[in-house]
Each structure stands twice: as structure tokens, then as C-alpha cells.
Amino acid sequence: MRKSPCIRILGGSALALGLIAAAPAGAQADAFPEGTEPLAEAIERDLGVASGQADDLLKAEESARSLEKEAEKAAGEAFAGAVFDTETRELTVSVADPSAVEAVEATGAETRVVEASQDELDAAMADLDAASEDGVSEEVTGWHVDLESNTVVVEALEGSEDAAEDLIADAGLDSAPVVVEEADAQPETFGAIVGGDAYSPGNSRCSIGFSVRGGFVTAGHCGSTGTSVSGSAGESGRVAGSVFPGRDMGYVRANSGWTPSPYVNNYRGGRVAVRGSNEASVGASVCRSGSTTGWHCGTIQAKNQTVNYPQGTVRGLTRTTACAEPGDSGGSWLSGNQAQGVTSGGSGNCSWGGTTFFQPVNPILSQWGLSLTTT
């Protein structure tokens, strides 16, 4: 097997999916409790957090979101990403220049010195994306920045490392910190033709994302622009905007019968209130609601992931450890009470786990000038 000096072959990983439902016509905003008990229960169940400690974790993650912004500003061009540790409750900021350590630590963050800055890692990602525009082997399943190892990871199916190395060579990354990692399965988008608490674009089924003024956001692969959609109680609407592949973002304009609400179904008989869309740190906990599998949590592994689906390449996704299954596509993701994104795809299931990708919500809002419905 050919190997360039900057490439290592590592172990494998796997992938999966998520949801949210808009309020039925006539539903009251306070019909269900807004408490975080179901959220805490799911975090304790899925992340192994000690009983009674989930609320402390959520508060620490909220503080980390603000701290990361301060630390990035203090680090300047030396900023190389930040990772939150759910066990120690600490945010560690990587810097590519030792002279930036003092300024970053003055914000209260832990620091470590690494080889490549965030800008350098992002540039390597951009080179890979550009190299893939002329076509890339389906055996290469995707690539992303791994902030913990300070590398760009290119994933390929077993026995297909050569295809990954060809992509790296085409991108001209001979000296960049790149590794090749084995993927357990080909990631797929998820939309099932089955019933459930969801919405139906045409003859398929997907999960509703977040309410916005005039409708809701969801995954782009759930329906092309112009597709008619319906809700479980007879609500109707039409896909007003859709981008897929390239990105995985969709916007449904709701007609009469659908009333936007600032809530996410927690599948425990209640709802979780959405209060904003501040982006969580790598390493932070994240939970999703899906029409097939309900409410599940995991952690954020990486941002700006490129995934090579059979239908085409999608860029800018966030990688997580949460499980999901077909029919969860388009569903909502939350970190605490902050909206994070909508389910795109992956592999695995909620029996043995997997890795799920979501399309961040803020780019969707910007794409069509939408306003997120919040409490």
C-alpha cells in the first residue's frame, strides 16, 4: 500500500440519525412542562453521567460556549480549536503559537500547544473539498477536522485506503497533518416510508426540525423545492427552499393548520424549550429528537465534516456519537436549550450505536433569512 509520510492508518468508526415536531393546530405553548428533567434523564442514560449531575454538566457547557468565543479572540491567528471535556467540565483551547498561551489562559481556559492552527486545518479541508469536485471514490466516506488530535481525518471503507490517499495527493496535502481512518459503513441519508409522529414530503417520511417564522427547517434531502408536505394531523405546506447535495438544508413554508412553536418533542410526554442557537463546543453533549427513535443524546466529535453520500458530497456537517435510525432525518438537535442543527445522515442504529451527522441550523437560517422561533 502506498503511504505518504504524513498519513497514518487508524481504527474504525460508525455513523447514524434525528427529529422535532411542530405544534398541531390549536395547541397551546404551555400544554407541556418546559423543565429539563427529560433532557437530564437522556444525558444520564446515553452519556453515562452520574444521577443528578446532568444539570451541572449543562451549566458548564453553557459557560464553555461563552468562554470559547473569548479564548478564540484572545488567541487570534494561533487559535487551533477548543474541546470540552464532559468529565472534568473543562474547556481546553489549542494554540499553534506558545506566545498565545498567556492571553488565552487569562480568559480562564486551559491551553495546549499544537502544530497546526484552525486556519491551517480548515485550509486542508478546503483543499480536499476542491479536489473532490471532479469526483471522488464512493469508498471514501468523508473527511473532517479532529481537534483533539490536531489533524484532518479522511475516512475510507476497509481495504480502500489507497482511494483516500489518492484524494489526499490530489489535494496537494503532502505536508499537512492528515490521517486515514477506516470507516465501518457507508453513511446514508435517512427517510423512511413508514407512519409516525412526523411529516411527509410526498410519499416519504422525515422529521420536522425547528420552527421558524412561517414554517420550519429540516434536511434538504427530505424534499426538493416545490414538494408538497403534510403533517400527521392533516397540516399542509410546501418546500420553499432545498439544498442537497453540497449542503443538507431545507425550509418548509407552512399553510393553515401548522402553528410554529418554540419547543422540541422530548418523547417523555413533554417538550424542551428552544431559547437560541448558540453553537456548542466540540466535546459538548448534544441531544436529538426523532420520529423513529425518540430522544437520544451523544457528544459532538467534530465540526465542518464532509460526507460522501451515495447521492453526492455534503460539506459543513457536524459529527456526533448519538444514535439514530431511518425516519429521523431532518430532526432537531439541541445542546441544553440552544438549537444546533437538523439530522442529515450516517450509519448505525439505537441498538448498538453509531455516528450521526447534522446540518448546523444557523447556516440554514442565513440561507433564507429565517427567524428561529424561541421562548
Catalytic residue among 207, 289, 329, 347: 329
Structural domain spans, the chain: 23-47+189-368
- Which helix (H) or strand (E) segment holds residue 12: the answer is strand 9-13
Cis peptide before 245 (omega within 30 of 0): yes
The number of angstroms, rounded, from the C-alpha of 349 to the middle of its chain's C-alpha atoms is 16
Catalytic residue among 127, 146, 248, 328: 248
pTM of the model: 0.77
Sheet holding 110-113, edge to edge: 79-85, 90-95, 110-113
Is the Cα dihedral 209, 277, 286, 132 positive or negative?
A: positive
Q: Does the annotation count 248 as an active-site position?
A: yes
Beta strand 332-335 pairing with 285-290: antiparallel
The pLDDT value recorded for residue 189 is 60
Per-residue pLDDT band for 4 (boundaries 50, 70, 90) equals very low
Q: Does the annotation count 134 as an active-site position?
A: no
DSSP secondary structure letters along 294-359? EEEEEEEEEEEEEEEETTEEEEEEEEE-----TT-TT-EEEETTEEEEEEEEEEEETTTEEEEEEE
Strand partners, 254: 237
Q: Which residue has the higher pLDDT, 136 or 111?
A: 111
The position carrying cell 456548542 is 280
**Tens digits of residue pLDDT in 199-224:** 999 888 899 999 998 899 999 999 99
Name which of 67-81, 223-237, 256-270, 310-324 the model is least confident about: 256-270
Q: Does the annotation count 97 as an active-site position?
A: no
The hierarchical CATH code for the domain 23-47+189-368 is 2.40.10.10
Is the Cα dihedral 41, 43, 47, 51 positive or negative?
A: negative
Q: How far, in Å, are 80, 92, 178, 318 from residue 114 at the CA level?
A: 8, 12, 14, 22
CA distance 79 to 189: 33
CA distance 316 to 302: 10
Which residues neighbour 356 within 8 Å (Cβ) at sequence distance 6 or greater?
15, 16, 17, 18, 288, 298, 319, 320, 321, 322, 323, 324, 343, 345, 346, 348
Average pLDDT over residues 108-131: 95
Query: Which is nearest to 121 in space by CA: 68, 82, 156, 71?
Result: 82
The pLDDT value recorded for residue 256 is 66
pLDDT of 12 higher than 70: no
CA distance 225 to 54: 40
Catalytic residue among 200, 211, 221, 289: 221
**Tens digits of residue pLDDT in 147-170:** 999 999 999 998 889 999 999 999
Share of the chain above pLDDT 70, in %: 87
